[in-house]
Structure 1
Amino acid sequence: MDGDLVYARFFADFGPLHLARTVRFCHNLESRLNLAPAGRKRLVLYCSDHPHKRANALTLLAIFLVVVGGLSPELAVTRVLKGGELPPPFGFRDASCGVCTFFITLLDCARAVHKAISTSLWSYQTFSIDEYNHLDCLDNGDINWIVPGKLIAFSGPQRERIVLDAESGATTLLARDYAALFRSLGVTCVIRFNEVTTYDRKAFTHAGLRHIDLPFPDGSNPSDDILFKFIRVRQQSF
């Protein structure tokens, strides 16, 4: 499994894998099980004993049991850890290089997927791997839907394009590129958490989009004031 599904880390983070790779794993495993002769559906999946690789592999298996197998998160984790015979994997951490003070467990990941399905926030059957991968590319905006159709996250644009690949000519997007893209996606309001010098907000307002600045230091936690302002804006927009 190690070479097929690789996590692209930022700093000291190591997983879990994003939705497109997770769903691709589930599709592949489901297909192999369906192709196996009746009564002979035993597949052997293996990874290295590196703690990061092991954590990602166990997480993929637990999510598969929740999504495809219909198991509860608790039972799925119990199954992949063989009823406690296997030690739990490393907890996942945030994408920073500092000391981590809060970890995401295997059970947290399984519960998150189960909650997303039960609240119709996410659907395994309708999820588009191609669309996710397209929007996930830096030259297409580095965009992720947090709440489908309502809340989207993206890399804040800079005043100048950054060349990503000289051979293909791929570059990052400017604010005006995002403005056109957001209008096609139904976005009506943009909230900037970066410094106000990163780009000219008029690129969005001239395109008819509402623009709000709530800056706080990158890598830190927002103040309570910024947090509640963000929540109010979201409540007004939903």
Structure 2
Amino acid sequence: VYSANMLLHSTAVDRVYLAQNTESLVFNDSFETFALNSSISYQGYCDDFGPMNMSCIIDFIRLLEAKLKESQDRKIIFSADDGKRPLTNAVFLLGAYMILKLEKTSAAVSESFRWLHTDQVEPYRDATYARPDFGLELIDCWRGLEKGMQRGWVRCGGSDFMWGEVDVDEYRHYDNPANGDLQEVVPGKFVALKGPVATVDDRDFHDDARGARSFSPAFYAEILHGMGVSTVVRLNEARYDCRAFTD
């Protein structure tokens, strides 16, 4: 079912349907509806809205698996909030599930969503308010996830704590803006983090008037040393003494 105000369509995941704006429909007992919980969301910096990170992907896979297990005799309706961006994120998460859990290729996932109208979803953009000059498509994100799985960087649920080389608890901890805003993008090779700033009395962090937290170079230096990082490349303005990383 697709109209200007409503979407309800089957997906390549058995018994799972994708829906949007279906409040006017009444489903019988053979259906169960769910939506994303607060732990599965993207915290934008500016006008960016995704894609979801590994923590959200893992939480979504666990959530969908639980729904499928709990309701083995029912069809599952995954309901996205109104708008292109929530639908784009919902489609991305379903595709991530297909790649990691069902081991489908990114090409097969993209083909399975060919029924989507191009004006229903939106390319991801950079974290600014300026007019974007590059759009990151869903297929780009799925290809990256597929490559990570092929290289063994991530795989579905080897344990509750390790998904391939992703330490779920550590990832979730440092991803939090209150704990470092840091991600290990390529395991053992490449770490990305928020630019450090010099703090009063060399404190670990500083919270500005808006509540945004910045961290000292010494705070990051200890973490990066523990991760085996040997080279730091600064991409933004210098707001700290680089000797914290060299002394």
Q: TM-score range by the shorter chain?
A: 0.7 to 0.9
Contact 2:47 2:128 in 1 (8 A): yes
TM-superposition CA deviations, 1:54-113 (whole Å, max 9, x none): 11111111111111112222222333x3x52x3142111111111112211222222221
Query: By percentage of residues, which structure has more strand?
Result: 2
Q: Structure 1 CA distance, aligned partners of 2:61 and 2:182?
A: 23
The aligned runs of 1:155-174 (5 Å cut-off) are: 155-160=194-199, 161-163=205-207, 172-174=214-216
TM-superposition CA deviations, 1:161-182 (whole Å, max 9, x none): 4226999xx9532111222222
Q: Which amino acid aligns with 1:187?
A: V
Contact 1:139 1:173 in 2 (8 A): no
Q: Secondary structure at the match of 1:11?
A: coil
Tell me if 1:203 matches 2:244: yes
Tell me if 1:118 matches 2:157: no
Tell me if 1:10 matches 2:51: no
Q: CA deviation at 1:53?
A: 0.6
Q: Percent identity?
A: 27
Q: Structure 2 CA distance, aligned partners of 1:139 and 1:9?
A: 15
Q: Secondary structure at the match of 1:153?
A: strand
1:78 match: 111
The aligned runs of 1:45-60 (5 Å cut-off) are: 45-60=78-93
Q: CA deviation at 1:119?
A: 2.1
TM-superposition CA deviations, 1:184-209 (whole Å, max 9, x none): 2222222222334x111111211xxx
TM-superposition CA deviations, 1:122-155 (whole Å, max 9, x none): 3333233321121112342211112112211111
Q: Structure 2 CA distance, aligned partners of 1:175 and 1:107?
A: 36
Q: Secondary structure at the match of 2:80?
A: coil
Q: Larger deviation: 61-70 or 121-130?
A: 121-130
Q: Structure 1 CA distance, aligned partners of 2:37 and 2:156?
A: 24
The 1:204–1:115 alpha-carbon spacing in structure 2 relative to 1, beyond 3 Å, is same
Q: Secondary structure at the match of 1:103?
A: coil
Residue 62 (structure 2) aligned to one of 19, 24, 27:
27
The 1:140–1:53 alpha-carbon spacing in structure 2 relative to 1, beyond 3 Å, is same
Q: Which amino acid aligns with 1:175?
A: P
Contact 1:143 1:155 in 2 (8 A): yes
Contact 1:165 1:171 in 2 (8 A): no
Q: CA deviation at 1:36?
A: 3.5
Q: CA deviation at 1:120?
A: 2.2
Contact 2:100 2:155 in 1 (8 A): no
Unaligned 5+ runs, structure 1? 207-238
The 1:53–1:153 alpha-carbon spacing in structure 2 relative to 1, beyond 3 Å, is same
Q: Structure 1 CA distance, aligned partners of 2:232 and 2:134?
A: 29
Q: Larger deviation: 145-154 or 186-195?
A: 186-195
Q: Structure 1 CA distance, aligned partners of 2:59 and 2:195?
A: 28
Q: TM-score, normalised by structure 1?
A: 0.74
Contact 1:140 1:172 in 2 (8 A): no
Q: CA deviation at 1:41?
A: 5.3
Residue 149 (structure 1) aligned to one of 174, 182, 188:
188
Q: Larger deviation: 104-113 or 53-62?
A: 104-113
